[in-house]
Chain A
Amino acid sequence: MIFRRTVLMTAALVAALLAADNASAQEKLKVIASFSILGDLVKNVGGDRVEITTLVGPNGDAHVYAPTPADTKRLSDAGVVFVNGFGFEGWITRLVKASGTKAPVVVATKGVKPRRMEKGEEHDHGGTDPHAWQSVANARIYVANIRDALVKADPTGQAAYEANATAYLGKLDALEQEVKDIIAKIPADRRRIITTHDAFGYFKDAYGLDFIAPQGVSTESEASAKDVAKIITQIRRQKIPAVFVENVTDPRLVKRIAEETGAKIGGTLYSDALTGPGGDAPTYIDMMRHNIRALGAALTS
């Protein structure tokens, strides 16, 4: 008897929860963004009218993300699904299919001129560099695509979405101006750094700063003498003024490399994901601003 009563009460509770869930769904447009940077852009255009769920959250790596059953559920409830495209989220196509969602899947990079990955900087995206948001000009295209998709899904909010998008595009213009100003202050022969990230191709093409991959750097807790010698030789030979190597984890070793080469050690660069609210890069604009200031500080003086 007691058992049956428990079951009934649980069922009632679940039904109540589901009802509450549906009620809130009618107020706001539910949208899904595949990763944190895209989520931030959608949030800026959608404002209060949309409820955003980001599948790969802050600090997560969208390249190797393994979707959870909860993601399937979120997709099937969603009104619009935003993805980056260019093969960035290889897992999303199957996930959308599996969820059986009726929501339109919007590719935010639609209209962006794709960039080929250079030799040696590829992780498997079929040759196209997906990190298009590293150029602010491309972020503008993202915003336009997001605005159009939201208007289509929720026509009553058209005025709000357009106002939000215009305001945000203004901020992006200011951001791009800042990026260009800082680059302009860097002497032309110092516009190159060594970094382990391979996500700055669009940044390089748009703003003319060269990102060179380091040779022989490992993420192991102990580097070999050969690794250290290789990177020192490379910095000397290519006359590289600054090094951004986060995954050489031992700060003493990084310091040694800097002293031996005269290169500056830069801080952290963010490429694929935002940080949490307390971090250096909680939003797209913060991320780009953090990166360009770190680069400027390391290269100008």
Chain B
Amino acid sequence: MLYDTFIGPFVEFEFMRRALVGAFALALGAGPVGVFLMLRRMSLVGDAMAHAILPGAAIGFLLHGLDLIAMTAGGLVAGFVVAFAAGLVARVTELKEDASLATFYLVSLALGVMIVSVRGTNLDLLHVLFGTVLALDDPTLLLIAAIASVTLVVLALIYRPLVLECVDPGFLRSVSGAGAPAHLAFLGLVVLNLVGGFHALGTLLAVGIMMLPAATGRFWARDITTMIFIAVVAGAISGYAGLLFSFHMSVPSGPAIILVAGVLYAFSVLFGRVGGLVRQVFPQRHLEA
């Protein structure tokens, strides 16, 4: 009974195993990136970038159909162009980074909608928006795993400047010139993970597996390392539980995964050890225990 509910589906069906591996790889890469986005108060940047990627993926799709390489390349190019152009405008002009990013992603989104309308294949393009975690083939899985690996390695390399920029960007600027390159590399990772995520979850839900586990981690830990660990675990649990819900309750898998992540987040807001609502209301009792 327990076996049938929790393990059986993955033993019996290869597509479930693939989906699970994909979800784990996504959680591994997107979780840490999400934590840094959150700590740098850039949580909504992920959302903006996801919209910016859409037209690139759409162009790739319209030129080559549901082709992994074309859609990935298109998404990456669009994401990088928007990220770097926005960063450049923010650094050399008066405009702040959020406003600059907003302008670029809106233009990018409008372009995407126009491309889609001109070609008139809205139905097919819905797949780009929604993704299919249930249909991950070998190349897609390899891509997602590679993105997770690259993310972890690059994060290890730029960890110090990145953490310092979260805490005290002014200090970092005074002692080192590593801030700007680290920032750019980090934005690159955001784009990479969103592109990896949209193959499995679609452009819009890819942000969910990035931000929700990160926000969950914030309620359980004070130091960044533990926070990242919890974010990855929360992401992996969301993937596993979401797939099980999709299997047993017959609900679409992508939204199910993100909704489980949302439930974990809501639980953390209430009962989290660090700043959770219940802890705030009854602080002494917990200290005594």
Contact = CB atoms under 8 A, between A and B. Distances in A.
Contacts of B16: 225, 229
B14 A225 contact: no
Nearest to A260: B14
B137 A225 contact: no
B132 A252 contact: yes
B254 to A, nearest CB: 6
A250 B250 contact: no
Q: Give the interface SS of chain B, mostly helix, strand, loop or mixed.
A: helix
B247 A256 contact: no
A249 B253 CA distance: 16
Contacts, number: 76
B66 interface: yes
Interface string A226-268: 1111001000000000000000011111011101100000000
A219 to B, nearest CB: 10
A223 interface: yes
B251 A224 contact: yes
Nearest to A252: B135
Contact of B135 (A216, A220, A224, A253): A253
Contacts of B246: 224-226
Interface in A27-56: none
B255 interface: yes
Contacts of B275: none
Contacts of B243: 225
B206 to A, nearest CB: 14
Given A221-B127, A256-B15, A226 B250 contact: yes
A214 B65 CA distance: 27
Contacts of A229: 9, 12-13, 15-16, 247
Interface string B189-213: 0000000000000000000000000
A21 interface: no
Nearest to B18: A256
A189 interface: no
A138 B246 CA distance: 45
Residue among B14, B16, B135, B253 having the largest count of chain A Cβ atoms under 10 Å: B135
B248 interface: yes
B126 interface: yes
Interface in B7-44: 9, 12-16, 19
B15 A228 contact: yes
A223 B19 CA distance: 13
Contacts of A252: 66, 127, 132, 135, 137
Contacts of A253: 132, 134-135
A229 B130 CA distance: 19
A89 B132 CA distance: 38
B249 interface: yes
Contact of A224 (B124, B126, B137, B253): B253
A257 B137 CA distance: 11
B252 interface: yes
Contact of B13 (A221, A222, A232, A251): A232
B17 to A, nearest CB: 10
A241 to B, nearest CB: 19
Contacts of B254: 222
A224 B252 contact: yes
A238 B93 CA distance: 67
Contact of B134 (A216, A221, A225, A259): A225
Contacts of A225: 9, 15-16, 19, 134, 243, 246-247, 253
Nearest to B123: A249
Interface in B223-246: 243, 246
Contact of B250 (A224, A249, A255, A257): A224
A283 to B, nearest CB: 27
Nearest to B244: A225
A216 B250 contact: yes
Interface in B114-142: 123-124, 126-127, 130, 132, 134-137
- 8 pairs of A and B residues whose beta carbons are closest in the complex: A222-B252, A225-B246, A252-B135, A226-B250, A225-B247, A256-B135, A253-B135, A221-B126
Given A216-B250, A221-B126, A229-B247, 8 more contacts: A221-B130, A222-B253, A222-B255, A226-B246, A228-B13, A250-B135, A252-B127, A256-B137
9 contacts: A221-B123, A229-B12, A252-B66, A252-B127, A253-B134, A253-B135, A255-B135, A256-B134, A260-B14
